[in-house]
Chain A
């Protein structure tokens, strides 16, 4: 197993653009977020794309470049893994509304923006880089499966992987379900097996378990927790009895919120209340309606 290290990261949330803003937010005690929509900063998206790029693709571009810049590797040819639950769902909704509503047709300048991999396409066009790229999706575990995808690439010969994950607040009135994504969130991790650069943390394990009943999964989590002497973070409040942190977004919901939990762990002052038993490691786990559990063990230096 190659050791996987987190070299740098990036983040966008409403009212919080960039890692320094995240650090300020943590210092302020993680107050409630000011709204559901990210306001894109001026000057970050290349002018040639500004009028064409979707908001989600722009967020992915900004947070991806932030991680590369923070790592001091702005021109790096790292393969890109984009993880998203709903992809360009707002664009898809607009297209369907146009086609099936009064307008009766699809705009040719919109259609290609509906694909799940639109952010990676814009990334290539903006940077001119031709490295491999994919887009993975798995509902409320999309970020975690993106991490698994990046992990397997790093274990099989790829030196660096830029993982970008995010979803945008769903604005399609046809399905205003509170269980859906209600806030923009996009973030990134530059993951690497190289040892010659400073790192924020290392990932020591990526774990997967699924059991047909919840009790078995809970037992598995307890086992991992004691084996690794780590704090457990779970996304699912139904799991009473597990030492857990609540969803990091307050009343908002986003499928990729596990990424925010991880970034909060990476940037919290040590020791802090996010780390139990004086440890420096985190077992971040999430589960979904299929009792699928993905865990990642992260250790800070």
Chain B
């Protein structure tokens, strides 16, 4: 497909607020997962909590005020300059918003279910109905283009990129603000624990002793442009997208990874690349025995044992509805810096898996293309290829 320049990005997670904090966390291979979560619910298993003070939403957006939206604002407030640039270049009505979440304002909604805790007049439309994330982004960004939310569980962010790519390629808009946000909440924490897929210690994706995932929270947002115009001359770009359904089970992946392989192949085709063109893969790698085995099977078939790859979920956890956006940000950081991030917490790679995740971060010449995988409940598989201009 036509390459879509990514003018700027920002992220927030347990590794810190802003791109510099993320880059420092990746450089250090830091694990920010902790038992001491400070959450309003018990967290016997460690989580990745955003510790930074979250700034209140700006004037005019007060009705949207909740933690999920504040996480989004932490990114968007840092993207003010590129957002103003695309508004000036194309007009606010030509800038679209595609957001991603899989829990939106559940954290606030939960207060209604605590006996005696229901606040009167809970603002469902602005805090919970998932389209509110896109509406919030548009409100604080001052743009007037189409705005909606993609929600496909843990692959929501990649589907937001797919939707935005459609809007840009079809000429519905000239620029797009894309990203995802997710706040930790009791419901998803308890839900994943009920499935017995949460590790009691910080998660260890692809390790032979891996026992499950660790949950996290955060956000990542991006400014995309339709054509490499004067704004995004040598920006990294969205090169290709791919998606599939597993058609297997609501929570368990197809053990052979047939569905995820289809998504990766589709993304490669869309980017016009062979597998050898990919210099690094940010794996979905949740840390559950089944998910990692399924993904490793398809990655090994397509790319072989030696492809540079890692799951970064041992750092900030699994950001669920924001995971895909957050890991696309990490993948862009790889293109920009050449730092291949470590598969944090990996001690002994599972020899059965047939891939070689990076135990340590490695500095290389920045690759030309990287891939980011995200798979969600309902067997929703996605892969995104990102590239940069040859230097």
- Listed in ascending order, the chain A residues whose CB lies under 8 Å from chain B are 52, 80, 85-87, 92-93, 95-97, 99-101, 105-108, 111-118, 120-125, 127-139, 141-142, 145, 148-149, 151-153, 155-156, 174-175, 177, 179-180, 208-212, 289-290, 292, 294
> Of all chain B residues, which has the CB nearest A154?
B170
B131 touches A141 (CB 8 A): yes
> Of all chain B residues, which has the CB nearest A99?
B190
Residues of A within 8 A of B129 (CB): 85-86, 137, 139
26 A-B contacts (beta carbon < 8 Å): A85-B130, A96-B106, A99-B190, A101-B115, A114-B191, A115-B102, A117-B152, A117-B380, A125-B248, A127-B247, A130-B247, A130-B262, A132-B243, A133-B380, A134-B162, A136-B148, A139-B131, A142-B131, A142-B148, A148-B148, A156-B166, A156-B169, A174-B113, A175-B124, A180-B124, A210-B93
A96 touches B166 (CB 8 A): no
The verdict on A138 contacting B147 (CB below 8 Å), with A99-B187, A130-B247 known, is yes
B151 touches A130 (CB 8 A): no
Candidates B149, B245, B376; contact of A132 at CB < 8 Å: B245
Tell me the complex Cα distance, A134–B149, Å.
Answer: 10
Tell me the complex Cα distance, A256–B112, Å.
Answer: 26
Most buried by A among B153, B246, B259: B153
Candidates A107, A111, A117, A292; contact of B147 at CB < 8 Å: A292
> Of all chain A residues, which has the CB nearest B196?
A108
Tell me the complex Cα distance, A124–B190, Å.
Answer: 26
B113 touches A106 (CB 8 A): no
| Cβ of B118 under 8 Å from chain A | yes
| Cβ of B308 under 8 Å from chain A | no
B250 touches A134 (CB 8 A): no
B149 touches A138 (CB 8 A): yes
A208 touches B131 (CB 8 A): no
| Cβ of B135 under 8 Å from chain A | yes
| Cβ of B303 under 8 Å from chain A | no
> Measured between C-beta atoms, what is the minimum distance from B164 to chain A in Å?
10
| Cβ of B114 under 8 Å from chain A | yes
| Proximity bits, B66-86, A CB within 8 Å = 1, else 0 | 000000000000000000000
Given contacts A152-B169, A292-B146, 12 further A-B contacts (CB under 8 A): A87-B130, A106-B187, A116-B152, A120-B245, A120-B378, A121-B250, A138-B134, A138-B135, A139-B125, A155-B170, A156-B1, A174-B112
Residues of A within 8 A of B135 (CB): 138-139, 290
Residues of B within 8 A of A208 (CB): 145-146, 172
> Measured between C-beta atoms, what is the minimum distance from A119 to chain B in Å?
8
